[in-house]
Amino acid sequence: MKDKKYIEKSYYFIFDEGYFYRPWGNFALKEKLNKKIPDNEPIGEAWLISDREEFQSTVLEGPFKGEKINELIKKFPEFIFGTEKTSPFPKRFPLLLKLIDANELLSVQVHPDDEKSRELGESDSGKTEMWYILDAKPNSFLYIGLKKNIKKQHLIKEIENKGDIDRLLNKIYVKPGEHYLIPAGTVHAIGPGILLAEVQQNSNVTYRLFDWNRIDLTGKPRTLHLEKAMQSIKEENFLIKAKKVEIKHLFGVEKYLCSCPYFTVKHWKIDKICKIWDKNYCFHIILSLDTTHISIYDNEIKLLKGEAILIPAQSCCNVVFRKGTFLDYYQI
């Protein structure tokens, strides 16, 4: 059994990835990001960092090669989450990082917030998420929220009457490099021709409102969850497309993309050798957007586009970035 002394030699964690077939999936993960997925199977989701029964991330290299992320959380909570954390250490990793590749329009859905999830008897928390558009075909779009003056009752009635729900939803045309925060309670759907990175609360509670009359592999329509969705939808007008806050440094550019109670996301473009963290307050997940070069003590790490790394809180002060463009996810 590995002793705790080995944690001193493991400054970061690179995990395997889980690939999931979806009826609306595509092949961009292989074609654009060189993921090792089947040639003939449309993969809709790649789970890069996951602490769930559906997929447990496994360490690929280093002293803890072969260990699951949930085992690391139990053994080394202070190392991963930081000694500055005042609240109890989480029992599982609090975030889930995915890549989503949509060839077709995804179902219209909504996620409950934490309180509503408890009220509805779910075992998971609520689910707030954030999307970063990696690639998008011309005229690709998202549905985020209801149009002005549209109530959730209008949407449910339209669905039950098999009407035109497109006219009730807020449709947003997107381009690569844009980002969108999707608070729990927001009706949403991802449109075709989009490859995006999604960070979310570690929850799988999804209430499907409408699936465009698709059928599953058994030839049946997918189940809808109208009653629970009705209770979960929030009609407030949220700030959907967050304004970027940009800071220019001598070594590159730092952009704040979004912040919510569950995660903060930054975009970094590094041109010269630098340190960007001087405290060990929290873990950081790095998702590379091109080729990113990182040094941690005598470890030289190269992340290709679409690859992720988990840097524990107590390693952060020792991380040197040499060059690259990446998303930085963390939880204070």
- pLDDT over 70, % of the chain: 93
DSSP 315: G
From the CA atom positions of the chain, what is the Rg in Å?
Answer: 20
Give, in degrees to the nearest 5, the angle at Cα 116 between 115 and 119.
90
15-232 belongs to CATH 3.40.50.1000: no
For residues 14 and 160, the model is more confident at 14
Neighbouring residues of 307: CB distance < 8 A, sequence distance ≥ 6: 14, 48, 287, 288
Contact between 275 and 332 (Cβ < 8 Å): no
pLDDT, the chain, mean: 92
pLDDT of residue 1: 40
pLDDT of residue 278: 85
Residue 295 reports pLDDT greater than 50: yes
pLDDT of residue 327: 98
pLDDT tens digits along 20-50: 999 899 999 999 999 999 888 899 999 999 9
Q: Which of 95, 93, 128 is nearest to 113 (CA)?
A: 128
Query: What would the DSSP string read from start to end of 38-102?
Result: -TTS-EEEEEEE-BSSS-B-BB-SSTTTT-BHHHHHHH-HHHHH-TT--SPPPSS-SEEEEEEEE
Instruction: Give the phi and the psi of residue 308 in degrees, each rounded to 5.
Output: -125, 155
Q: What does the block give as tokens for 16? A: 């395997």
**Residue of 22, 52, 118, 208 marked catalytic:** 208
Q: How much of the chain is in helix, strand and coil states, percent to nearest 5?
A: 15, 40, 45
The residues of the chain that CATH labels 2.60.120.10 are 15-232, 245-330
Q: Which CATH number is correct for 245-330, 2.102.10.10, 2.60.120.10, 3.40.50.150, 1.20.1290.10?
A: 2.60.120.10
Alpha-carbon gap, residue 196 to 135, rounded angstroms: 7
pLDDT tens digits along 229-261: 999 999 875 555 556 689 999 999 999 999 999
Amino acid identity, position 290: D
Neighbouring residues of 311: CB distance < 8 A, sequence distance ≥ 6: 11, 12, 283, 284, 285, 286, 296, 319
Contact between 257 and 242 (Cβ < 8 Å): yes
Alpha-carbon gap, residue 222 to 225, rounded angstroms: 10
Tell me the CA end-to-end span of the chain in Å, nearest whole number: 32
Model confidence at 194, in pLDDT bands (50, 70, 90)?
very high
Alpha-carbon gap, residue 188 to 166, rounded angstroms: 11
Alpha-carbon gap, residue 267 to 97, rounded angstroms: 15
Contact between 82 and 283 (Cβ < 8 Å): yes
User: SS3 of 163, please?
Assistant: coil
């003056």: which residue's tokens? Answer: 149
Q: What global pTM score does this model have?
A: 0.94
The answer to whether 208 is a known catalytic residue is yes
245-271 burial code (b ≥16 CB/10 A, e <16): eeeeeebbebbebbbbebbbbbbbbbe
